[in-house]
Amino acid sequence: MTDNSRESIEKFLRSLFGEKYAVQFDDLLLSGEGTFDGTPVAILGTSSRAPIGVSLALALSRHVLDIMREHPKRSILLIVENSGQKIGLFDELMGNNGYVAHLSTCLDAARRRGHKIIGVVHDLAISAGFMATGMAASECYALNGAELRVMAPEAMSRIMRIPLERLNQLSKTNAILGPGAVNFERIGGIAGIWSDDVRGEFRKALSQPDEEDARRETGVQRGGRLFAARVARAVREGRRQL
């Protein structure tokens, strides 16, 4: 599992940077640097379906702070692979939400300080693991075949008391409900799913203009999330009626 994940991430990095990159794997964390079109890019992320717990979140935010201090405005490639938040007594005792919030706050600060952060979901990203990382990026994409979800369909079915078969059926037509990168793309939750031309995709992503948050409007344009943009705008304007 661990080796497969690392190998697959290395393969992706090779297809992106050729030989012009170096990363270190330290347990579930990976960090390093690459050169893309002659420009240095920081590489940071997690592998092996990492559960995001207090130690890992803290190690990631350490790297984000170092990048901000040592390499102002350098673009960051953020490899997003996780199984959600780490679930257990110790991490909750320590206040994992505080560690996760700090990590996403650091990424957000980097973005505001001019770092282009391109998140790329590799293999799997779940709920709070996605919130900690990919959702705080400038834009987040998914590699072809990667999975994004809030919860496994079996667990959703059990908790919502909807038979699995019906849930799967509903998920095909309802982008806001069921798992899958395609659904997240339709609601504007990710900017896109990358084709095999990852160099072209990355180049395009790096050249996207900075926007504070394009997700709601994208969801409308793609027809997957029709109401959030209009409702948020109405509240921003202080309206009594939609």
Partner 1 sequence: MTESYLETGARARIVGLLDRNSFAEFLGPTARVMSPHLPGLDMPAAFDDGIVVGEGTIDGRPVLIAAQEGGFMGGAIGEIHGAKLTGLLERALDVKPDAVLLLFDSGGVRLQEANAGLIAMGEIQRAVLATRHAGISVIGLIGGRNGCYGGTSIIARTCDWLIGSEEGRLSISGPEVIETIEGAEEFDSQDRALVWRTMGLKHRRLIGEIDRVVADDVTAFRDAAKDYLGRSRDLTLDALEAEQGFLTERLNRFHDCGDAREIWARLGINEPARVPDLDPEAFESIATTLAVQRP
| Nearest approach, Cβ of residue 221 and partner 1 (Å) | 15
User: Could you tell me how many residues of this chain bind partner 1 (CB under 8 A)?
Assistant: 78
Which of 22, 152, 164, 231 binds partner 1 (CB under 8 A)? It is: 231
Instruction: Report 103-142 residues binding partner 1 (CB under 8 A).
Output: 104-106, 108-109, 112-113, 127-128, 130-132, 135-136
Interatomic CA distance for residues 119 and 74, integer angstroms: 14
3-state secondary structure of 70: helix
Which of 49, 116, 122, 216 binds partner 1 (CB under 8 A)? It is: 216
| Residues 6 or more apart whose Cβ sits within 8 Å of residue 197 | none
| Nearest approach, Cβ of residue 129 and partner 1 (Å) | 10
Q: Which of 6, 4, 42 is nearest to 21 (CA)?
A: 42
Residue 62 as a binder of partner 1 (CB under 8 A): the answer is yes
Specify the DSSP class assigned to residue 197: -
Instruction: Report 150-179 residues binding partner 1 (CB under 8 A).
Output: 150-151, 156, 159-160, 162, 170, 174-178
Q: How many CB atoms lie within 10 A of CB 106?
A: 20
| Nearest approach, Cβ of residue 37 and partner 1 (Å) | 28
Q: Which of 241, 147, 181, 204 is nearest to 16 (CA)?
A: 204
User: Given the complex with partner 1, which of 21 and 99 has the nearer CB atom?
Assistant: 99
Instruction: Report 13-32 residues binding partner 1 (CB under 8 A).
Output: none
Q: Give the per-residue contact string, 175-204, with partner 1 (x = CB under 8 A; - = no).
A: xxxx----xx--xxx---------------
Interatomic CA distance for residues 41 and 202, integer angstroms: 11
Interatomic CA distance for residues 220 and 213, integer angstroms: 13
Q: What is the DSSP pairing of strand 124-126 with strand 82-85?
A: unpaired
Residue 223 as a binder of partner 1 (CB under 8 A): the answer is no
